[in-house]
């Protein structure tokens, strides 16, 4: 009898969580209200330089992301004056569960559930409830030259970003944050996973350009500016990226 009750309670909790997640995703897809995005900084290496960088972060540090969504929204006919609002939360001391890159589907599903629970346990933000949470793990570039891949989860509406604790890298950090934010909203990657080159035409900022190369901007979900058929450059900041037609459709900005 008690076993049946426990199962019934568990099913009720799962149904409630699923309904809440569905309602949250529905709200983000409607674009009737400003999307509230909260950044949760993490000192990934525990270093003093990284700690000082995080202490210096403000809401304005992510202002270029807001401007990017505002300007790109206008291009795609979004009526909202401010599609996205970005706020910063207090630093998070806990590290997120490591992603099982190359893992089986059950392993990935289990990791996703662990991440969502971890995010819930480490949400100390006291402002309005965010629609999307982005946890940014900052690393001292003097100690680490390359970073692991970042991730955006549509189920759970959250992102896990690896970034450099450097003012010189703030622009490219914001590009990665916006990229993973768009993943959480339903956008797909638009680059070749083998060579990291943008896919034509959806991965090009201006697929109708003549000549086609070099492009001057990147489609944000392609992540790189194609300068030739075999070469692409990393964008330095939000001025160097755009939201293309297919990405706009995927996040419900256009039909």
CATH number at residue 42: 3.40.390
Q: Are residues 208 and 135 in the same domain?
A: no
88 and 180 co-located in one domain:
yes
142 and 214 in a single domain? The answer is no
Mean of pLDDT values over 173-195: 96
Instruction: Choose one of 186, 201, 231: the last residue of a domain.
Output: 186
Mean pLDDT of the chain: 90
φ, ψ for residue 191, nearest 5 deg: -140, 160
Q: Say what the pLDDT of residue 144 is.
A: 87
Is the Cβ–Cβ distance between 219 and 226 less than 8 Å? no
- 3-class DSSP state for residue 214? coil
Is residue 198 in some structural domain? Answer: yes
Does the residue 242 lie in any domain? yes
Structural domain including 31 reads: 20-186
In a domain, 15, yes or no: no
Residue 39 has pLDDT above 70, yes or no: yes
Residue 4 has pLDDT above 80, yes or no: no
Q: How many domains does the chain have?
A: 2
**Residues 28-33: contacts with CB within 8 Å, 24+ apart?**
28/131, 28/132, 28/157, 28/185, 29/185, 29/186, 29/251, 29/252, 30/252, 31/78, 31/79, 31/80, 31/83, 31/252, 31/253, 32/80, 33/80
Tell me: do 152 and 120 sit in the same domain.
yes
Over range 9-32, report the average pLDDT. 59
Looking at the structure, do residues 65 and 136 belong to the same domain, yes or no? yes
Q: Is there a single domain that holds both residue 51 and residue 144?
A: yes
- The answer to whether residue 175 is domain-embedded is yes
Whole-model pTM: value is 0.89
What confidence score (pLDDT) does residue 12 get?
A: 57
Residue 23 scores a pLDDT above 70: no
Is the residue at 119 inside a domain? yes
Residue 222 lies in a domain: yes
Domain boundary among 129, 155, 186: 186
Report pLDDT digits (tens) over 130-178. 999 999 999 999 998 888 889 898 888 999 999 999 999 999 999 999 9
Model pLDDT, residue 8: 63
Mean pLDDT of 9-26: 53
Give me 64's structure tokens.
């270029």
């Amino acid at each position: 009898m008690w076993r049946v009750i426990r199962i019934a309670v568990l099913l009720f909790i799962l149904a409630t969580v699923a309904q809440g997640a569905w309602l949250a995703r529905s709200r983000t897809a409607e674009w009737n209200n400003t999307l509230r995005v909260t950044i949760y900084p993490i000192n990934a290496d525990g270093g003093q330089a990284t700690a000082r960088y995080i202490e210096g972060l403000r809401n304005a540090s992510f202002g270029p992301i807001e401007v990017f969504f505002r300007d790109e929204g206008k291009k795609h006919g979004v009526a909202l004056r401010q599609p996205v609002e970005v706020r910063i939360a207090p630093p998070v001391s806990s590290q997120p569960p490591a992603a099982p890159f190359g893992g089986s589907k059950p392993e990935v599903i289990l990791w996703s559930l662990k991440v969502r629970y971890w995010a819930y346990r480490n949400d100390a933000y006291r402002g309005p409830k965010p629609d999307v949470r982005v946890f940014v793990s900052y690393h001292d570039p003097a100690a680490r030259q390359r970073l692991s891949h970042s991730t955006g989860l549509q189920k759970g509406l959250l992102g896990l970003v690896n970034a450099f604790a450097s003012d010189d890298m703030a622009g490219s950090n914001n590009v990665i944050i916006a990229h993973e934010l768009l993943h959480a909203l339903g956008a797909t990657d638009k680059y070749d996973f083998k060579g990291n080159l943008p896919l034509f035409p959806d991965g090009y900022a201006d697929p109708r350009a003549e000549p086609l190369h070099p492009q001057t901007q990147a489609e944000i979900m392609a992540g790189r500016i194609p300068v030739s058929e075999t070469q692409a450059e990393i964008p330095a900041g939000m001025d160097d990226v755009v939201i293309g037609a297919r990405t706009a459709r995927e996040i419900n900005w256009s039909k």
